[in-house]
C-alpha cells in the first residue's frame, strides 16, 4: 500500500526530474542566447563547456573556439586570477568584481556561480555575468549629487539635522509628499533629494511649474492629449505625468495649479490613472507625486485655491523647511560654505568676513532665505578686493536694514525680523 507521503514525495521527485531533464535540453541553451547577461558553463577542470552569445560578445571568442579553454582566460574577471570562487564547492554564490572585455574595457560585473545537478554533473557550474556598468555609473552620479542625506541641502542647525535624518526614510516610502516652506528654503532640493534617494531614482524626475497659461494647454501639458483633441493637435502627445512614469512628478507651486487640474491629480492619487485630453480611455501611470508650496496649505484651502481632499491625500507625508532666521548657527555656516565655493569659482583669494560684516550678516533677517544668502555672498566675493569681506562689500539692501536696526530699539528690530 502506498502512503500519501510516498505519493507526494514520488510526485515531487518525478516532477523535479522531468524539469531537470527538460532544462538540460538544447532548447534551454538556445534560450540562454536570448538572455541579457553573459553566461558560461564550466566543468570541474575549470574548462569552458559552453558560452552564450552575450559572453561571445564580451570575450570576443566564438563559442566553438571557447569550448575547452581555461575559464579564467575566457572570463578574465578579477576573481579568476586570485582565488576563483566558482569551484569552492558551495551550491551557489554571487560576487561583485570586474572583467576585461575584448574591447579592452574594464567592466564592473556581478558573477553568480550555480552548481548544476547532483550526480556526475555536480562538477558542472553555470556562471552568470551581469554587467553593472550602468548601475555603477548611476550610483556615481547620484553620490556626486547627493553625498549627504539631503543631497545639496546644507545645514548644521538642530532643525536641519532633524530633517536630514528623516529624509532617507521618506525617500524610501511611496507616499505622496507635500513640501512647505518660505521661498528660498530649498523645497526643490528636498524634492530632488527624495527622488534621488528613492527606488525610483533610475527613472525620471519631472518638475512641473504651472505658469499661467490657457486651461486646455495646461491640461495637455499635464495629462497629454490624443490626435484631434484640439484643432492644433496633429498627433498624440504624452503629458508631463506620463513622462515621469516609473519616477517622480513634482509640482513646484501647488497654489498655481487651477482647480480642474487638481481634480486630475486627485484621480491620479486615488486610482493611479490619468485621462489624456480627448481620450475615451484612461491611462494607468505609476508615478510618485510630490508638491510644494511657499504658502500655508490650510490658508489656501480657506481661500478656495486648494481642494481640501487633495491636501489631505498629498499631506500623507509633510516636510516643512524652516526659514533661515529660525535655523540657529546655520547663517554663519552657510556664509563660510558659500564664501569658499564662490572664492574658488571666481578665483578670488577671499578667506573670510570681517567681524563687523559678519555681525551685519548674522543680524540680517534673510527674507529670501538660503537663496538670498547665496546671492549676497556671491555679490560680496565678486566686489571684494581684500582678503576679507568688509561691510562695504555687502549689497545696499543688507546695509540699509542694518542702519534701520541701529536707529531703532533692539527689541523692535528683532520683532520686525521675525515677521519680515
Partner 1 sequence: MARTVLVPLLRNEVAPRFDLALEVLLARISDEGEEISRDIILLDHASADGLCDFVLKNDVAAVLVGGIEEEYYHYLRWKRVEVVDQVMGPVDAVLERFRAGRLAPGDILYGEEAWS
Least Cβ distance, residue 94 to partner 1 (angstroms)? 20
C-beta separation of 247 from 288 below 8 A: yes
Residue in this structure with the C-alpha cell 551557489, named with its chain if needed: 92
User: Measured between alpha carbons, how far is residue 360 from residues 100, 377, 413 in Å?
Assistant: 59, 13, 13
Q: Which is nearer to partner 1, 79 or 167 (CB)?
A: 79
DSSP secondary structure letters along 352-396 = EE-HHHHHHHHHS--TTHHHHHHHHHHHHHHH--SSEE-GGGS-H
Least Cβ distance, residue 255 to partner 1 (angstroms)? 54
Q: Which is nearer to partner 1, 95 or 325 (CB)?
A: 95
Taking the C-alpha atoms of residue 91 and residue 114, their distance in angstroms, rounded to an integer, is: 6
Taking the C-alpha atoms of residue 255 and residue 310, their distance in angstroms, rounded to an integer, is: 12
Q: Which is nearer to partner 1, 81 or 234 (CB)?
A: 81
Taking the C-alpha atoms of residue 80 and residue 67, their distance in angstroms, rounded to an integer, is: 17
Taking the C-alpha atoms of residue 291 and residue 179, their distance in angstroms, rounded to an integer, is: 6
Q: Which is nearer to partner 1, 59 or 291 (CB)?
A: 59
Q: What part of residues 180-209 is at the interface with partner 1 (CB under 8 A)?
A: none
Q: What part of residues 294-313 is at the interface with partner 1 (CB under 8 A)?
A: none
Residue in this structure with the C-alpha cell 555681525, named with its chain if needed: 359
The contact mask relative to partner 1 for 101-120 (x = CB under 8 A, - = no) is -xxxxx--------------
Q: Which SS3 state, helix, strand or coil, does residue 124 take?
A: coil
Least Cβ distance, residue 115 to partner 1 (angstroms)? 23
The contact mask relative to partner 1 for 325-364 (x = CB under 8 A, - = no) is ----------------------------------------
Q: Which is nearer to partner 1, 65 or 348 (CB)?
A: 65
CA angle, residues 274, 286, 264, in degrees to nearest 5? 25
Give me 60's grid cell.
570576443
Q: Which is nearer to partner 1, 65 or 152 (CB)?
A: 65
Q: What part of residues 25-84 is at the interface with partner 1 (CB under 8 A)?
A: 60-61, 65, 68-70, 72-73, 75-76, 78, 80-82
Task: Kindly report the number of other CB atoms within 10 A of residue 195's CB atom.
Answer: 26
Stretch that binds partner 1, among 99-107, 210-218, 297-305, 400-408 (CB under 8 A): 99-107
Least Cβ distance, residue 112 to partner 1 (angstroms)? 20
Least Cβ distance, residue 84 to partner 1 (angstroms)? 11
Number of residues that bind partner 1 (CB under 8 A): 20
Taking the C-alpha atoms of residue 166 and residue 319, their distance in angstroms, rounded to an integer, is: 9
CA angle, residues 195, 199, 201, in degrees to nearest 5? 45
Residues in the chain: 420
Least Cβ distance, residue 77 to partner 1 (angstroms)? 9
Least Cβ distance, residue 56 to partner 1 (angstroms)? 14
Taking the C-alpha atoms of residue 263 and residue 261, their distance in angstroms, rounded to an integer, is: 5
The pairs formed by 47-56 with CB atoms below 8 angstroms and a separation of 24 or more are 47/71, 48/74, 49/124, 55/129
Least Cβ distance, residue 72 to partner 1 (angstroms)? 5
Stretch that binds partner 1, among 98-106, 321-329, 364-372, 390-398 (CB under 8 A): 98-106
Q: Maximum CA pair distance of the chain?
A: 106
Q: Which is nearer to partner 1, 104 or 347 (CB)?
A: 104
Q: Which is nearer to partner 1, 69 or 233 (CB)?
A: 69
Q: Which is nearer to partner 1, 81 or 88 (CB)?
A: 81
Least Cβ distance, residue 102 to partner 1 (angstroms)? 7
The residues that touch partner 1, with contacts defined as CB under 8 A, are: 60-61, 65, 68-70, 72-73, 75-76, 78, 80-82, 100, 102-106
Amino acid at each position: 500500500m502506498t502512503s500519501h507521503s510516498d505519493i507526494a514525495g514520488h510526485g515531487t521527485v518525478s516532477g523535479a526530474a522531468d524539469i531537470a531533464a527538460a532544462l538540460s535540453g538544447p532548447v534551454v541553451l538556445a534560450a540562454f542566447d536570448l538572455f541579457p547577461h553573459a553566461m558560461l558553463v564550466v566543468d570541474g577542470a575549470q574548462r569552458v563547456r559552453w558560452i552564450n552569445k552575450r559572453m561571445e560578445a564580451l570575450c570576443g571568442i566564438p563559442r566553438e573556439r571557447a569550448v575547452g579553454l581555461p575559464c579564467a582566460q575566457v572570463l578574465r574577471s578579477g576573481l579568476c586570477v586570485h582565488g576563483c570562487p566558482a569551484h569552492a564547492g558551495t551550491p551557489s554564490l554571487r560576487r561583485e568584481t570586474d572583467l576585461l572585455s575584448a574591447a579592452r574595457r574594464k567592466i564592473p560585473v556581478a558573477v553568480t556561480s550555480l552548481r548544476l545537478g547532483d550526480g556526475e554533473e555536480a562538477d558542472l557550474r553555470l556562471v552568470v555575468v551581469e554587467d553593472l556598468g550602468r548601475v555603477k555609473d548611476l550610483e556615481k552620479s547620484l553620490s556626486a549629487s547627493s553625498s549627504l542625506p539631503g543631497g545639496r541641502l546644507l545645514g548644521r542647525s538642530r532643525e536641519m539635522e532633524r530633517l536630514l535624518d528623516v529624509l532617507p526614510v521618506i525617500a524610501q516610502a511611496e507616499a505622496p509628499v507635500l513640501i512647505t516652506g518660505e521661498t528660498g528654503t530649498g523645497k526643490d532640493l528636498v524634492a530632488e533629494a527624495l527622488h534621488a534617494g528613492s527606488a525610483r531614482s533610475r527613472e525620471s524626475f519631472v518638475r512641473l511649474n504651472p505658469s499661467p497659461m490657457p486651461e486646455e494647454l495646461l491640461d495637455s501639458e499635464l495629462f497629454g492629449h490624443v490626435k484631434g483633441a484640439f484643432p492644433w493637435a496633429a498627433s498624440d502627445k504624452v503629458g508631463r505625468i506620463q513622462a515621469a512614469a516609473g519616477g517622480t512628478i513634482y509640482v513646484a507651486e501647488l497654489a498655481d495649479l487651477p482647480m480642474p487640474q487638481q481634480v486630475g491629480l486627485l484621480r491620479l492619487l486615488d486610482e493611479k490613472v490619468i485621462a489624456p485630453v480627448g481620450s475615451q480611455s484612461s491611462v494607468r501611470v505609476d508615478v510618485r507625486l510630490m508638491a510644494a508650496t511657499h504658502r500655508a496649505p490650510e490658508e489656501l484651502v480657506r481661500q478656495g485655491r486648494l481642494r481640501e481632499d487633495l491636501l489631505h491625500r498629498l499631506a500623507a507625508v509633510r516636510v516643512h523647511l524652516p526659514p533661515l532666521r529660525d535655523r540657529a548657527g546655520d547663517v554663519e555656516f552657510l556664509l563660510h560654505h558659500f564664501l569658499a565655493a564662490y572664492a574658488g569659482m571666481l578665483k578670488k583669494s577671499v578667506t573670510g568676513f570681517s567681524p563687523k560684516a559678519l555681525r551685519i550678516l548674522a543680524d540680517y533677517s534673510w527674507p529670501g532665505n538660503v537663496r538670498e544668502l547665496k546671492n549676497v555672498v556671491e555679490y560680496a566675493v565678486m566686489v571684494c578686493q581684500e582678503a576679507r569681506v568688509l561691510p562695504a562689500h555687502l549689497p545696499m539692501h543688507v546695509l540699509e536694514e542694518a542702519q534701520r536696526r541701529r536707529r531703532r530699539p533692539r527689541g523692535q528690530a528683532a520683532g520686525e525680523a521675525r515677521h519680515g
